[in-house]
């Protein structure tokens, strides 16, 4: 299907090239087909959704720390509302923050700039993708305000809880949730096709497969994973939607259906999805580490093959989410093996990062702090995952706060730390100005320390047997002891500190966009192509599109006076 | 449509792989569609193996003659899509457009027969909510029908441009998509019609 045949929104035309004519605000920022603007749209939408998700976390953490009391800025939280808040927190943070920011925003902004072309191959499909995504976000947020409130069946939407309004108490929220998720997947499928074909077909002259920066590789592999895994969930979602509103019984065991099939369909997508958001974050960290260690990335090809291996393995680990769901115990052994296997390539990647750091001349700039913070925290997430991937221990840990702490130690580094690493690193390119480094460092420390104080106590709570989905622990004598309640209060207080610490970032961000110190073309002395364009790049990115002469990580080459060697500089 | 005035970026015209960008994108669309239908068919097969006889019995109530006729209609429409591609290769836009119109005709025929078939089933009481077999039947063939509609609409746009000799490379792209829709039906026909009890 070509761009023209599927572009549904028409009427907007713009002259190609270098913007010598005035454009209205709407056509320049809202209806633009420029990949940089679309990336920004995804970025800002994702950041706004992150604020909503953070607020939801504040509400239900307050309930857990001070059960039944009035929450400042919200009021009394009822049990049904609690379920809805937790569900929406998970949904928003994964589907409307991690996905749009890491894949769509960075993918859109970076891919054409890093492979040296003027735009995505299908600019109008790209715009359509964002518009569908925006509609999905609006539907999701609107579902807070329908009678019954937003969906309360947990973000994994297991039937029969999610299929029957009598159980989840959200008769309108549930189908709206499904429709929003489905629309969002359509948006990312369109975006993913764009990413993959752009990188396959539109690289700069001279750029071989092994000259592509790792972050671009990883975004593309993530897009392929997404495209090949999301189908079964789309299929499952159609069945679930008909169960909710069409009167069918696909997941109703009483009428010949099977609720377990949803779990298989969901996690067949859900586990690759972890790597869909992880890989772009890994790629961002790889770029940052190479630049601020002034060293060639250690084992570029190995990192690439490792990423392929991760991608392939990620398709055969899904049932480790279902060890206690009543699947065959022999099958759980099989999935234990594959799950433990996948920790090998990921550990290998982390070792490559550490090897890149080893004996480099490390500069502790703000992006580098975030990158190092990513390695440190993600390591904890990865190591605790081994206990959950092994069926023996998982039976004990399943559905406890140990799981909650584990996946926040993976998703927080991915979605928040990885995002900040990328945002602070490419900020000069995105807006043509520098952010304030001092405020940046304060923001880093006041985010990373409270983050650990939120989730380290939750490991302990999980070990004590605290179940994930309980509204009020005072009914459980073993769980409502002083010590455990104290841990919950520590976690909640730390969350509030962390949320407040985002204020200086927001101020720094907006102040710097308009008033920050002007950035030159290549402030970090980096090699990749985006740093040869203007800051910020104009429409079309370059006056003459660059050629590529070498790989992306030629730092501190012994034959050169300068310690970097841009990809587009011809060899003498 | 604004297609006449929209300037394509240089990125769209590059072809590092040697395959045109449009064709590459269609193949990726097909790949993502395969997993969607794959998910539904795996669901159907799992349930069918588990429930055995009642499902095989239910499948005897689908109308094999209508199904076979529709298979014939779709295969014929695919033939026209190939002929349209052949005409486009030899730069004969008018002829390509005519063959595409025949393909659209096949799609319309398929949909008419399908609606007639559904109305017979519904009259007999085999409705969506009767049981999981009929739920699968209506959803999966319905999703397939939705793809037929979408394909026919897009083909209309392609044919309109092709008649003016414009963007003839799209004839092949829509052809690839159409063959995919056709092949999906070749899975649905045996699964819902011919593998019945007996």
- What are A433's strand-pairing partners? A518
The label of the residue with tokens 């793809």 reads B147
**Any domain includes A266:** yes
CB-CB neighbors (< 8 A) of B46 in chain A:
258, 261
The answer on pLDDT for A2 being more than 90 is no
- At A150 the pLDDT is 95
Contact present, A71 and A62 (Cβ < 8 Å): yes
Average pLDDT for A455-482: 92
Q: Of the candidates B8, B11, B17, which has its C-beta nearest A112's C-beta?
A: B11
Q: What is the pLDDT of residues A516-527, one digit of tens each?
A: 999 999 999 999
* Residue ranges of B 35-54 with Cβ closer than 8 A to chain A: 35-40, 42-43, 46-47, 50-51
Question: What pLDDT does A192 receive?
Answer: 95
- Res A22: pLDDT: 61
pLDDT computed for residue A31 by the predictor: 85
Residues 6 or more apart whose Cβ sits within 8 Å of residue A500: none
| A310-343 b/e (C-beta count within 10 Å ≥ 16 → b) | bbebbebbbbbbbbeeeeeeeebeebbebbeebb
SS3 content of chain A, % helix, strand, coil (to 5): 70, 0, 30
A18 pLDDT more than 80:
no
Which pLDDT band, with edges at 50, 70 and 90, does B84 fall under?
very high
Number of residues written out for chain A: 572
> Which segments of A358-436 does DSSP mark as H helices, in order?
366-389, 391-397, 401-411, 418-431
- The answer for residues whose C-beta is within 8 angstroms of residue A517's C-beta and 6 or more apart is A433, A434
Residue B197 has pLDDT above 90, yes or no: no
Residue A445: domain span? 35-532
Length of chain B as a residue count: 198
- Residues with Cβ < 8 Å from B126, sequence gap 6 or more? B61, B134, B137
Helices and strands counted in chain A (H then E) = 18, 0
Q: What is the mean pLDDT of residues A369-380?
A: 96
- Which value does ipTM take for this structure? 0.91
**A533-544 pLDDT, tens per residue?**
999 999 889 999
SS3 content of chain B, % helix, strand, coil (to 5): 80, 0, 20
CB A405 within 8 A of CB A463: no
Specify if A67 maps to a domain: yes
**Statement: residue B196 has pLDDT above 70:** no
Rounded to an integer, the average pLDDT of A35-56 is 96
pLDDT at residue A104 is higher than 80? yes
Instruction: Write the pLDDT tens digit of every residue in A232-270.
Output: 998 899 999 999 998 899 999 888 889 999 999 999 999
Residue A71 DSSP code: B
Between CA A443 and CA A420 the distance in angstroms is: 10
pLDDT above 70 as % of chain B: 96
Q: What is the mean pLDDT of residues B14-31?
A: 93
Q: How far apart are CA B119 and CA B114, in angstroms?
A: 9
pLDDT, tens digit (0-9, with 9 covering 90-100), for A42-52: 999 999 999 99
Nearest-Cα distance to chain B for A383, in Å, is 32
User: In this complex, do A540 and B15 lie within 8 Å of one another by their Cβ atoms?
Assistant: no
Closest CA to A284 of A199, A198, A217, A376: A217
Q: What's the confidence (pLDDT) of residue A1?
A: 37
Test the A interface: residue of B11, B29, B133 with most A CBs within 10 Å: B11
Residues of B in contact with A234 (CB under 8 A): 36, 39
Compute the nearest-CA separation of B112 from chain A (Å): 24
Instruction: Mean pLDDT check: name the lowest of A6-15, A80-89, A168-177, A495-504.
Output: A6-15
Per-residue model confidence (pLDDT) at position A529: 96
Assign 3-class secondary structure to A441-488: HHHHHHHHHHHHHHHHHHHHHHHCCCECCCCCHHHCCCCCCHHHHHHH
Section A169-178 average pLDDT: 94
Q: Which of residues 211-230 of A touch B (CB under 8 A)?
A: 227-230
Parse chain B into domains and list their residue ranges. 18-194
- HSE-CB of B55 using CA atoms within 13 angstroms: 19
Q: What is the pLDDT of residue A572?
A: 73
Judged by CB atoms closer than 8 Å, whether chains meet at A124 and B6 is answered as yes
pLDDT at residue A12 greater than cutoff 70 = no
Total domain count, chain A: 1
Residue B153, C-beta contacts closer than 8 angstroms, at least 6 positions apart? none
3-class DSSP assignment, residue A292: helix
B18-194 folds as 1.20.120
**pLDDT attached to residue A29:** 77
CATH of the domain at A492: 1.20.210.10
Mutate which of A235, A253, A537 to disrupt the B interface (most B C-beta within 10 Å)? A235
A7 within some domain: no
**Mean pLDDT score, A407-436:** 96
Asked if A201 and B1 come within 8 Å (Cβ–Cβ), the reply is no
- CB neighbour class for A351 (10 Å; exposed up to 12, middle 13-18, buried from 19): middle
pLDDT value, residue A28 = 75
Q: Write out residues 52-111 of B within 8 Å (CB-CB) of A.
A: none
Q: Could you tell me how many helices (H) and strands (E) chain B has, helices first?
A: 7, 0
Residue A16 pLDDT > 50: no
Q: What is the pLDDT of residue A217?
A: 97
Contact criterion met (CB below 8 Å) for A297 and A214: yes
Average pLDDT over residues A11-32: 59
Q: What is the pLDDT of residues A268-285, one digit of tens each?
A: 999 999 999 999 999 999
Looking at beta carbons, which residues of chain B come within 8 Å of A233?
A: 39
Domain membership flag for residue A30: no
| Cβ proximity of A535 and A549 under 8 Å | no
B161 chain-A contacts, CB cut-off 8 A: 4
A11: in domain = no
Average pLDDT rounded to a whole number, residues A140-147: 95
User: Would you tell me which residues 136-165 of chain B have a C-beta closer than 8 angstroms to some C-beta of chain A?
Assistant: 136, 139, 143, 154, 157-158, 161
Interface test with B, best of A19, A129, A201 (most B CBs within 10 A): A201
Per-residue tokens: B4: 């006449």
- % of chain B exceeding 90 in pLDDT: 76
Take residue B16 and report the two structure tokens written for it.
């590092």
Mean predicted confidence (pLDDT) in A373-393: 94
Nearest CB to A242; choose among B135, B157, B173: B135
Least confident of A338-342, A446-450, B127-131: B127-131
Residue A21: its pLDDT value, please? 54
State residue B5's pLDDT score: 61
| B11/A contact by beta carbon, under 8 A | yes
Provide the pLDDT for residue A4: 40
C-alpha torsion A262→A265→A266→A271, nearest 10? 150
Distance between B68 CA and the closest CA of chain A, angstroms: 26
Q: What is the mean pLDDT of residues A307-325?
A: 94
User: Does A555 map to a domain?
Assistant: no
Question: Is residue A344 predicted with pLDDT exceeding 50?
Answer: yes
pLDDT in tens, B40-75: 999 899 888 888 888 888 888 899 999 999 999 999
* Shortest CA gap B174–chain A (Å): 6
Q: Do B135 and A123 touch (CB under 8 A)?
A: no
pLDDT level of residue B123 (50, 70, 90 thresholds) = very high
Which is higher by pLDDT, A424 or A3?
A: A424
Average pLDDT, chain A: 92
């Amino acid at each position: 299907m070509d761009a023209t045949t599927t572009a549904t929104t028409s009427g907007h035309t713009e002259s190609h090239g270098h913007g010598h004519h005035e454009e209205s605000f709407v056509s320049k920022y809202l209806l633009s087909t420029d990949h940089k603007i679309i990336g920004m749209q995804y970025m800002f939408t994702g950041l706004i959704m992150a604020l909503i998700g953070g607020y939801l976390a504040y509400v239900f953490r307050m309930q857990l720390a001070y059960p039944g009391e009035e929450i400042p800025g919200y009021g009394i939280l009822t049990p049904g509302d609690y379920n809805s808040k937790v569900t929406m927190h998970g949904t928003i943070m994964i589907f409307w923050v991690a996905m749009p920011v890491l894949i769509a925003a960075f993918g859109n902004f970076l891919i054409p700039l890093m492979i040296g072309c003027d735009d995505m191959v299908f600019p109008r499909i790209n715009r359509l993708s964002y518009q569908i995504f925006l509609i999905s976000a609006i539907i999701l947020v609107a579902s807070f305000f329908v009678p019954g409130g937003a969906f309360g069946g947990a973000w994994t939407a297991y039937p029969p809880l999610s299929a029957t309004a009598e159980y989840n108490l959200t008769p309108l929220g549930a189908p709206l949730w499904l429709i929003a998720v489905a629309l969002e997947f359509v948006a990312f499928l369109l975006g993913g096709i764009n990413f993959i074909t752009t990188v396959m077909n539109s690289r700069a002259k001279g750029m071989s497969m092994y000259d592509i920066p790792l972050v671009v590789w990883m975004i593309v592999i993530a897009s392929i994973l997404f495209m090949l895994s999301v189908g079964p969930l789309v299929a499952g979602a159609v069945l679930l939607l008909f169960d909710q509103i069409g009167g069918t019984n696909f997941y109703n065991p009483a009428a010949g259906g099977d609720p377990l099939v949803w779990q298989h369909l969901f996690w067949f997508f859900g586990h690759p999805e972890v790597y869909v958001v992880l890989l772009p974050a890994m790629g961002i960290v790889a770029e940052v580490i190479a630049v601020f260690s002034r060293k060639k990335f250690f084992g570029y090809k190995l990192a690439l093959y490792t990423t392929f291996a991760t991608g392939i393995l990620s398709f055969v680990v899904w049932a480790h989410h279902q060890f206690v769901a009543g699947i065959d115990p022999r099958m759980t052994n099989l999935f234990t093996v594959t799950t433990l296997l996948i920790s090998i390539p990921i550990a290998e990647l982390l070792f490559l990062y550490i090897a890149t750091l080893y004996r480099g001349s490390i500069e502790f700039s703000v992006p580098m702090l975030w990158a190092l913070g990513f390695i440190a925290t993600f390591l904890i997430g990865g190591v605790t995952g081994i206990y959950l991937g092994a069926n023996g221990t998982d039976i004990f840990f399943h559905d406890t706060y140990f799981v909650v702490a584990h996946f926040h130690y993976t998703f927080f580094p991915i979605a928040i730390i990885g995002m900040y690493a990328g945002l602070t690193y490419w900020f000069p390119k995105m807006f043509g100005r520098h952010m304030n480094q001092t405020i940046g460092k304060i923001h880093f420390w006041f985010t990373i320390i409270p983050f650990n104080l939120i989730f380290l106590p939750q490991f302990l709570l999980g070990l004590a047997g605290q179940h994930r989905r309980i509204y009020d622990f005072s009914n459980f004598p073993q769980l409502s002891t002083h010590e455990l309640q104290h841990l919950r209060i520590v976690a909640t207080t730390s969350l509030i500190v962390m949320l407040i610490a985002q204020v200086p970032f927001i101020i720094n961000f907006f102040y710097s966009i308009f008033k920050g110190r002007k950035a030159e073309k290549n402030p970090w002395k980096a090699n990749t192509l985006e740093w040869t364009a203007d800051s910020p790049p104009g429409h079309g990115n370059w006056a003459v599109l660059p050629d590529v002469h070498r790989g992306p990580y030629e730092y501190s080459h012994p034959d050169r006076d300068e310690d970097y060697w841009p990809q587009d500089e011809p060899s003498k | 449509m604004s297609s006449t005035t929209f300037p394509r970026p240089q990125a769209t015209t590059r072809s590092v792989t040697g395959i045109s960008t449009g064709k590459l994108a269609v193949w990726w669309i097909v790949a993502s569609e395969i997993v969607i239908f794959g998910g539904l068919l795996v669901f159907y097969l799992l349930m069918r193996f588990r429930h055995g006889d009642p499902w095989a019995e239910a499948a005897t109530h689908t109308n094999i003659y209508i199904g076979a006729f529709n298979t014939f209609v779709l295969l014929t429409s695919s033939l026209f899509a190939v002929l349209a591609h052949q005409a486009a290769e030899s730069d004969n836009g008018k002829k390509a457009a005519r063959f595409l119109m025949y393909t659209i005709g096949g799609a319309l025929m398929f949909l008419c027969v399908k609606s007639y078939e559904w109305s017979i089933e519904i009259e007999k009481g085999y409705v969506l909510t009767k049981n999981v077999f009929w739920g699968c039947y209506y959803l999966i063939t319905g999703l397939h029908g939705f793809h037929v509609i979408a394909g026919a609409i897009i083909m209309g746009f392609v044919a309109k441009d092709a008649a003016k000799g414009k963007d003839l490379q799209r004839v092949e792209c829509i052809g690839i998509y159409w063959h995919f829709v056709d092949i999906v039906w070749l899975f649905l026909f045996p699964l819902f019609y011919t593998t019945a009890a007996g």
